[in-house]
Amino acid sequence: MDDAELDLESGRLLFARPIGFVRGVARLDDLPDPDRAEVAFAGRSNVGKSSLLNALANQKGLARASNEPGRTRELNYFETTAPLYLVDLPGYGFARAPKTEVARWTALMRDFLRGRATLRRVFLLVDARHGLKPSDAEVMDLLDAAAVSYQLVLTKADKQKPDALARLLEATAAAVKKRPAAHPKVRATSAQTGHGLPELRAEIAALARP
């Protein structure tokens, strides 16, 4: 078995075991102890973060998916059997909530990204139907400034034809090529068909290693 096959198997095993909800964090003081690696999932509201997490974990009800943008309003922590937390961040760009509430959880997310030493990588999700938006660029600017490693992941890839998806992957990779904290590999995924999920699981498993 070569290295790529070993990574895929490690990813399969990581997500074959139960993953459980730990807590929703509304204040930085409530964060879990920084005793293990963390990977976070960020993206515009309704980009499909919850659906992707559920598909990765093969657990339909792990993260609460909703058609209502802005449903996730806390940092939701999930525990794996490895020394690794998965963190579902609040969506940005739109939310049906009072402006003061939007400002509160936006500030929480920004403070978390700036100061969490155990954060190994942020997976920045982008809807394959729409591509990068100005709000995505703002978050990438923040991650670059904070020197937080991040990787772009296209969601809902099943909604695009193969040739259009290939062009979008190429264009997205070119858009992040000169960004200092961006991982060069852009992943395409579908929570519906499972496209790209084994490779994403493998990347996450690799980040859990000491």
Mean per-residue pLDDT over the chain, rounded: 88
**54-110 tens-digit pLDDT:** 999 998 878 764 444 444 578 899 999 999 999 998 888 755 566 776 677 677 778
Stretch 149-175: mean pLDDT, rounded?
97
At residue 68, the pLDDT reads 42
Q: What percent of the chain has pLDDT over 90?
A: 65
At residue 78, the pLDDT reads 95
CATH classification of the domain holding 183: 3.40.50.300
Look at the chain and report how many structural domains it folds into.
1
Tell me the HSE value of 157 on the side-chain side, using a 13 A CA sphere. Answer: 22
**185-197 tens-digit pLDDT:** 999 999 999 999 9
The size of the chain, in residues, is 210
For residue 140, give the H/E element and its range: helix 134-146
At residue 13, the pLDDT reads 95
Distance of CA 94 to the CA centre of its chain: 17
Extract the tokens encoding 117.
């030493």
Domain range for 41: 3-207
Q: Rounded to an integer, what distance in angstroms lies between the CA atom of residue 149 and that of residue 179?
A: 10
How would residue 127 be classed by pLDDT, with cut points 50, 70 and 90?
A: very high
**10-38 tens-digit pLDDT:** 999 999 999 999 999 988 899 999 999 99
pTM value is: 0.91
- Name the burial class of residue 159, with classes exposed (0-12), middle (13-18) and buried (19+) by CB atoms within 10 angstroms of its CB: middle
